[in-house]
Amino acid sequence: MAVDVKICGLTDRPGLDAAIRHGARMVGFNFFPASPRFVSMDAVAALAAEVPQEIERVGVTVDMDNETLEAAIRSARLSTVQLHGHEDPSRAAEIRERFGIKVLKVVRVSEASDLEAVAAFEPVADLLMFDTKPPKDATRPGGNAIAFDWRLLAGFATKRPWLLSGGLEADNVRQAAEISGASAVDVASGVESVPGSKDPEKIREFMAVCSGL
C-alpha cells in the first residue's frame, strides 16, 4: 500500500510542479519568517493558484496571530493550517472554529513521554504530525533534517490520522514507514538541493519510493 506524501516548504514553480506531477497528496507553504523555506503572501498566492483542487494546501504556521493567519488562509487558499509552534489545545480549537478550516497539530518527539500530549489534541485537531524535537540551539521548530527514534511510534494508537516527519529522504523513508507504521509522511529538506530550494529529481525519487510501499 502506497504511503501518502506531503511535500513541505515549497517556494517555486519547479518544485511545486514536481510535487503535483509525481502524486503528492499535500503541498505545504511555510509562513515562518526564520525558515529558509519562508514564502511571502504575494508569492504563495501565485503558487497556490496552480494547485489542483484535490490536493491539500497546507500552511505551516508558528504561533501566528489571527490577522496574519487570516491573510495566509486567503492568499494560499489553504485547506489545512499546520500548527508548528507552542499552540495548546484551546488555540487549536479556536482556529478550527473561527476559520472553519482543518487543523494539523505537530507533536515534537524525542522520547516516549512526548506522545502523552496527543490525547489532549485528538478532540480538536483533524490531523497530527510527529516531528523531531528540535535541538536547544535551533532557530526554528522544524525542518532541521533530524530524525527521531521511529520505534517510539510502533504500535502507537491515536484516533486521528497522522504523518511522520523529521529527517526523511528517499534512502530512509521505506525503513521509517515500516518501523513506525506511518501511512503518510512529510518531507522538506530531504528533497532539496540547498536549504529552501526543492530539487525536482529528488522529489521524483522520494515519491517513487513512497508509491511502492
Domain residue spans of the chain: 4-201
* pLDDT band at residue 131 under the 50/70/90 scheme: very high
pLDDT at 207 over 80: yes
- pTM of the predicted model as reported, rounded to 2 decimal places: 0.94
Grid cell in block for residue 175: 525503513
Write phi, then psi, for 86 (nearest 5 degrees): -100, 25
Give the pLDDT of residue 136: 64
Once rounded to an integer, what is the mean pLDDT over residues 134-161? Answer: 79
Residue 144 has a pLDDT of 55
pLDDT for 146 = 81
CATH superfamily for 4-201 is: Aldolase class I (3.20.20.70)
Q: What is the mean pLDDT of residues 152-169?
A: 96
| 117, 91 Cβ separation under 8 angstroms | no
pLDDT band of residue 119 (cuts 50, 70, 90) is very high
* pLDDT value of position 138: 52
Q: What percent of the chain has pLDDT over 70?
A: 94
Helix runs in 40-172, H state only: 41-48, 66-76, 89-99, 118-121
| Active-site residue set | 8, 131
Least confident of 24-38, 132-146, 182-196: 132-146
The reported pLDDT for the residue numbered 140 is 52
Q: What is the DSSP letter of 206?
A: H
Q: How confident is the model at residue 213 (pLDDT cuts 50, 70, 90)?
A: confident
Q: How far apart are CA 88 and CA 72, in angstroms?
A: 20
